[in-house]
Amino acid sequence: MTPVNIDDMRKAARRRLPKIFFDYIDGGAFGEATMRANREDFARYRLEQSVLTGVDAADLSTTYLGTRHALPFMLGPVGFLGLYAGNGEMKATKAAHAAGIPLCLSTFSIASLADLHAETGADLHFQLYILKDRGLCAELLRTAEDAGVDTLHLTVDTAVTAVRERDVRNGFRSLERLTPGLLLSMARRPRWCLDMARAGTPKVGMLRERPAFGGNILQQAANLSRNIDKTLCWRDVEWLRRNWKGKLVIKGVLSAADALSARKHGADAVVVSNHGGRQLDGASSTIAALPAIREAVGPEMGVMIDGGFRRGSDIVKALALGADGVMLGRAYTYGLAASGRPGVERVIALLRDEIEITLTLMGLASVDALKRKGRAALTDAGGRLRAPVR
């Protein structure tokens, strides 16, 4: 059955993927309260309906991170796309490119930036974790530059990896070799096994020349995680600013004070993010944090947002509250896991159609018109206030 929304796509992904991987994607930190809040807090806002406006098809193109794109959302960094579908990074990149939007490649990827760039010519961003090994870090920056990357996302909300209890239960946390549990979980999904077998043995793309990080992907992932610099501070952002000529985006900001610090230390933009509720459980939802951050940094600084976006109307609400654009995480990952490139394309098409219908019923001819209208396009859940209460 064709998935008619992202939740259907999630169910299709669950049927296709080994349970261990599905739970890794789907789960959050500890009690998953922040992950749930990311979804639930969209209901704090209602959309303003406006009739008889003569609006036909809405123009969804808009500008974020300094470039005009066909759609107000892009594909954000998700580690190990190539484990959820064979050559997953390539498939997702091609889907994004065909839709006229960028994909941000995670540090934890199987495909290399160079291969993706050479085969697709797509608009690629790169997500960096600052590693203790600054030499490797500098090498990664050069690789990104060579692959035509002009926007670097520095992820800053992973000083320590939170416990994701589904992974603990599945025996997937800090796993460094194949275990009977993992093998059994994989054997139960023969179609996935076949797809992966065709793609060849997965390894972390950027560690091809670094045997010291381990011989299999599990060891590489574990060693790379251990190499993430836990003592990272704003001085390191300055180091990065000096060593990266392109646009610098700080991903993982949830307060106005941190957004202002990002600007002070040379960032061009922030991503309002709590890592999809996978890190600080109990932290604010991103949609609740967004208005204060936009208010603090003013209209000039770039503000992106991610966390819980599964509906076109979620995206419309974020744009009305001051985001320049939205980054998808699990939504497109479900599509990829469900059916590869067509699955990602379907996710993009579903969200595009939902946004277009939503804007038309709001009497708005374009995403830019929505951005100009801003909070006046929303009311609170009681339907009375134009500027929503925080």
- Does 155 sit near ligand FMN (CB under 6 A)? yes
Q: Output the CA angle 8-11-15, nearest 5 degrees.
A: 140
One of 275, 317, 346, 352 touching ligand FMN (CB under 6 A)? 275
By CB under 6 A, tell whether 309 contacts ligand FMN.
yes
Contact call for residue 127 and ligand FMN (CB under 6 A): yes
Q: Are 274 and 253 in contact (CB under 8 A)?
A: no
77 binds ligand FMN (CB under 6 A): yes
Listed in sequence order, the residues at least 6 apart from 153 whose beta carbon sits closer than 8 Å to its beta carbon are: 77, 104, 125, 126, 127, 128, 249, 250, 251, 271
Which position's Cβ is nearest ligand FMN? 329
By C-beta, is 247 or 275 nearer to ligand FMN? 275
Instruction: Supply φ then ψ for residue 291, to 5 degrees.
Output: -60, -40
Question: Long-range CB contacts (< 8 A, 24+ apart) of 238-242?
Answer: 238/265, 238/266, 239/134, 240/128, 240/130, 240/152, 240/154, 241/265, 241/266, 241/267
What are the catalytic residues?
Answer: 275
Q: Which of residues 101-120 bind ligand FMN (CB under 6 A)?
A: 106, 108
Can residue 346 be called a binding residue for ligand FMN (CB under 6 A)? Answer: no
User: Residue 24 or 58: which CB sits closer to ligand FMN?
Assistant: 24
Position among 3, 79, 82, 335 found at the interface with ligand FMN (CB under 6 A): 79
Q: Which is nearer to ligand FMN, 272 or 292 (CB)?
A: 272
Are 352 and 295 in contact, with CB atoms under 8 Å apart? no
Size of the site for ligand FMN (CB under 6 A): 23
Contact region with ligand FMN (CB under 6 A), list: 136-144, 185-193, 305-313, 382-390 = 305-313
Nearer to ligand FMN, 58 or 144 (CB): 144
According to CB under 6 A, which one of 10, 251, 263, 371 is a site residue for ligand FMN? 251
Q: Are 379 and 362 in contact (CB under 8 A)?
A: no
88 is a contact residue toward ligand FMN (CB under 6 A): no
The stretch near ligand FMN (CB under 6 A) out of 10-18, 169-177, 290-298, 307-315 is 307-315
Residues near 211 by beta carbon (within 8 Å), at least 6 away in sequence: none
Residue 291 sits in the site that holds ligand FMN (CB under 6 A): no
Q: Using alpha carbons only, what angle is made at residue 222 by residues 166 and 19, rounded to the nearest 5 degrees?
A: 30
| One residue of 18, 214, 307, 388 binding ligand FMN per CB under 6 A | 307
| Segment lying near ligand FMN (by CB under 6 A), choices 75-83, 174-182, 235-243, 371-379 | 75-83
Total residues belonging to the chain:
390
For residue 39, the minimal CB distance to ligand FMN (Å) is 8
From 276, 322, 335, 363, residue interacting with ligand FMN (rule: CB under 6 A): 276
Q: What tokens appear for 311 in the block?
A: 């509906």
325, β-bridge pairs: 304
Indicate the residue among 117 and 153 with the shorter CB distance to ligand FMN: 153
List b or e across 174-205, with b for residues whose CB sees 16 or more CB atoms inside 10 angstroms. ebeeeeeebeebbeebeebeebbeebeebbbb
- Does position 285 interact with ligand FMN (CB under 6 A)? The reply is no
Strand stretches in 90-222, DSSP E: 103-105, 124-128, 151-155
In terms of Cβ atoms closer than 10 Å to its own Cβ (0-12, 13-18, 19+), residue 225 is middle
Which residues of the shown chain bind ligand FMN in the complex (CB under 6 A)? 24-25, 38, 76-79, 106, 108, 127, 155, 251, 273, 275-276, 306-309, 328-331
